[in-house]
Structure formats: C-alpha cells, structure tokens
Amino acid sequence: MSVSVEKLEKNLVALEVTVEAEKFVNAVNQAAKVLAKKVNVPGFRKGKAPRRLVEQYVGKQALYDEALDQLVGPAYAQAVGESGIEPVDRPNVDLVQIEEGKDLIFKAKVAVKPEVELGEYKGLKIEQSAATITEDEVMEALKSKQQQHARLITLEEGKVENDDTVTLDFEGFTDGVPFVGGKAENYELVIGSGTFIPGFEEGLIGVEIGQPHDVNVTFPAEYHSAELAGKDAVFKTVVKKIQRKELSPLDDEFAKDVSEFETLDELKTDLRNKLMKTAEQRAKDEHVKAIVAKVVDNASVEIPEVMITERIKLMLEDLSRNLAQQGLTLEQYYQFTNSTEEAMQEQARPQAAESVKTDLVLETVAKAEGIEVTEDEVDEEMKKLSERHGQDAGLIKQTLIARGELPFYKQSMISQKTVNFLVEQNS
C-alpha cells in the first residue's frame, strides 16, 4: 500500500491511497463468499455457490461494494498512521480507480487538526491581584449565618411582610375563566423569593391571615405557556398561615450556639479568615486565567468548523446532564428560557471556539516544551482518585483503559502541567 498527501485549503488534507491489485482481488473473492451466504442460488446450498454464479445473481457492483467495506476502512486507518495527520472529522472518500487486475485507488479528503502559530508565551510578567476583603463582607457573612439559624415563628394573627413564609390557597383566572395549573391549596411560599410571576408575591404584602384577597398580575410576554403569555390575570387568594423569622441577637451567646467559639469576636475572626482564603484562591484562579488567556490571544490558528460544532455538542450534552439531575430536559429548559436549540448553539459558539483554541494552544506549547506525563505520574493521580472515591487505584486505571478514556485523561494531565508551566514562566 502507498499513500500520498496533498494539503488543501482551510486545514483540509487529501490522502490518495493505493491498495495492491492482489489485495483487491482477494477482497472481492472474500466478498463473494460473504454474499453467497445471503442469496439463494438454485442447485447450491447457501454459501456454496461459486463466485461466477453469485456475481450473476447480485451483480459485480455488489461484490465491489462488499469488498470496499472490507478494504477502505483499514486502508484509510493505516494511511492516517503513515502520514502522521490528525483527522478531526470523518473522511469524504472518492474512488479514483476500481477494476479487478488493477490497483485500487481512492482519495480521502478530511479536516485535520490545525497548526498553531504561537506568539509570546513566556516572560509576559502578569501580576496577581492582591486578595482583599472588607468588614462589610465579614458582616454580610455573619448576617447570613444569623439568617441560617433563624427560627420560624408561626403568627396567630398579622399581615404578610417581605421574607415571610406563607401558606395559602389560590386560584388564577384570565377573562374570568380559571386556567390550567393556576390552582393550589396549602401552598408554601417565601415572599420575595421570586418563585411566582412578577407582581404576585408583592401583591400579598400587607394581606391579613384569613382575609380573601385578589392579586392582579400580567404574565410576561415570554412566558413558557403560550396561552398565558402577555395576558392579564387575577389570583383569588387566602393566606392561611404566616411564619416569620426570629433572628437571634449577634452576641457571644449567638456565637456559642452556632459555632465552636465562645465569643462573637472569635466567630468574626474565623469568618474573616475563611473569606480571605476564598479571596486568595479567587485571585490565584483569576491570575491563572489571565495568563492562559494572554497566551491564547497571542497565538494564531484557523479552527475547522467541525471542531467548533463538536465542542458545542459536548457543551449541550453537559447542560443536558446537569438539567437531568434537577429533573429537567433540554426541551423544558428551552421553553422556560424562551429559547431554541439553534439559538443555544449560536449562543455557545464564541465560548466553544475559545475553548477549542485554548486546547490547541496548550497542546502546542506542551509539544514545544516537551511537556509529558510519565506512567508514575499517572499512577500517582490514580492513587489520588482512589482516596477521593474510595476505589482501588488499579481498578480505576483498568476501567479507564477499558473505556478508551486513559489517553484523554493523560492529555488533561499534560494540559494541567502546561498551565502550571505557563504560570511559572509568566508570573
């Protein structure tokens, strides 16, 4: 077998592959045996008819098609290996010559991983921002803890206020007619949570327990139910119960109740330290992002459209999995956000393109600097996964190998080492 490589425009490559005539004849003969098992030739049991008769029944083209199924895939894979190209899409195969007694020649056009022209990626001197927190942030954290440990007091009488948890009955009407899904009994609602359409929760403020009250609202124009979108509605409501948060005073007793500390000052110091650690990690993360973004921005690469399309597909699959954990489907998400699959794909395009470019640039830097991972490093990472998930390290590695995922895992490790290298070189 022989291969010639022709570079076309926009990261396209054409491989012209020549398969020896003898191999093609053998493939055609084998194809006749395969097809003989699928046709009934008078006077012969299935699979026993000679090639000449099989060809008369199915036609020469059917023999050739079967032979090509056997030859082209392996020949293309071998050609890819010999040529050293890195395809990123399925090939478009055209037959150049197909005739028994002659070499089989086919041409495969395929998009390949693009070449990256690196710009400056060392000595950029990007400074890390200082981590800072304010006393207002400390107080906000303290108040948040105060809210978390608040008691809910049930009122015997009173009026609804913001942040109250109310239990109510309601029924919604448009044009005086009840609509589907607009009725509930003993529904628990936190006022100010934004759970209901705009105006509903606000319309309950000041309402007394047991007092029938009409709440007038207008459904948003982009509401997911087309029958209600943009329509005026009235909800007939009755508040049956009000629960209100009772906040503990911010003093030493509060500190003792909600933490292991004896004084409020000690609790505030602990919150301050935790906020500082978070701020320091955030500053470090932003520093890393800034370095990688600058290196990527300095590089030039023309990305094949198929790579961007595939990345968008992966992003939407991730979104689908995350939604499934919340009991939602992508279709429901499109309804709630008044979007479509096409709109989401277009919205994700810039991020997908940047993500692909980042991967390509990091891979190119790694090759330029000879950054690799050893088997010892892989095994060490397996040990960390073992400790984290409580599984045997060897079993984790074997599972990754069985799934064909170990090369991708190694590549992610190389990418992380490359990021670490860039941070060292540019801080």
Question: For 273-319, what is each residue's pLDDT tens digit?
Answer: 999 999 999 999 999 999 999 999 999 999 999 999 999 999 999 99
| Residues 166, 104 within the same domain | no
| Residue 78 within any structural domain of the chain | yes
| Residues 6, 106 within the same domain | yes
What is the total count of domains within the chain?
A: 2
- CA nearest to 112, candidates 90, 83, 77, 86: 86
The domain of 37 spans 2-111
| Residue 188 within any structural domain of the chain | yes
- CA nearest to 359, candidates 301, 315, 421: 301
pLDDT band (50, 70, 90) for residue 332: confident
| Residue 353 within any structural domain of the chain | no
16-46 in b/e burial notation, b at 16+ Cβ within 10 A? bbbbeeebbeebbeebbeebbeeeebeeeee
| Residue 287 within any structural domain of the chain | no
- CA nearest to 348, candidates 382, 385, 316: 316
> Can you give the pLDDT at residue 41?
67
Helix (H) or strand (E) holding 306: helix 305-325
Q: What is the mean pLDDT of the chain?
A: 92
- Phi, psi (5° rounding) for residue 246? -110, 115
What Rg value do the Cα atoms of the chain yield, rounded?
A: 34
More confident position, 229 or 425: 425
Cα 413 to Cα 296, 352, 380, distances in angstroms: 19, 21, 11
| Residues 95, 185 within the same domain | no
| Residue 381 within any structural domain of the chain | no
Each residue's pLDDT tens digit, 122-171: 999 999 999 999 999 999 999 999 999 999 999 988 999 999 999 999 99
CA 118, 121, 126, 131 torsion-angle sign: positive
Each residue's pLDDT tens digit, 385-401: 898 888 888 899 899 99
Tell me the DSSP string of 345-370: HHHHHHHHHHHHHHHHHHHHHHHHHT
Helix (H) or strand (E) holding 95: strand 92-97
Q: 163: helix, coil or strand?
A: coil
Each residue's pLDDT tens digit, 230-249: 999 999 999 999 999 999 99
Q: Supply 282's token pair.
A: 């955030």
pLDDT band (50, 70, 90) for residue 71: very high
| Residue 365 within any structural domain of the chain | no
| Residues 92, 167 within the same domain | no
Cα 141 to Cα 115, 147, 213, 253, 274, distances in angstroms: 49, 10, 37, 17, 10
Domain end marker among 111, 138, 161:
111
| Residue 33 within any structural domain of the chain | yes
| Residues 86, 164 within the same domain | no
Domain end marker among 246, 271, 289:
246
Q: Quickly tell me which residue has 């012969």 as its tokens.
A: 44
- Identify the burial level of 327 via C-beta atoms within 10 angstroms of its C-beta, where 0-12 means exposed, 13-18 middle and 19 or more buried: exposed
- CA nearest to 203, candidates 195, 211, 191, 193: 191
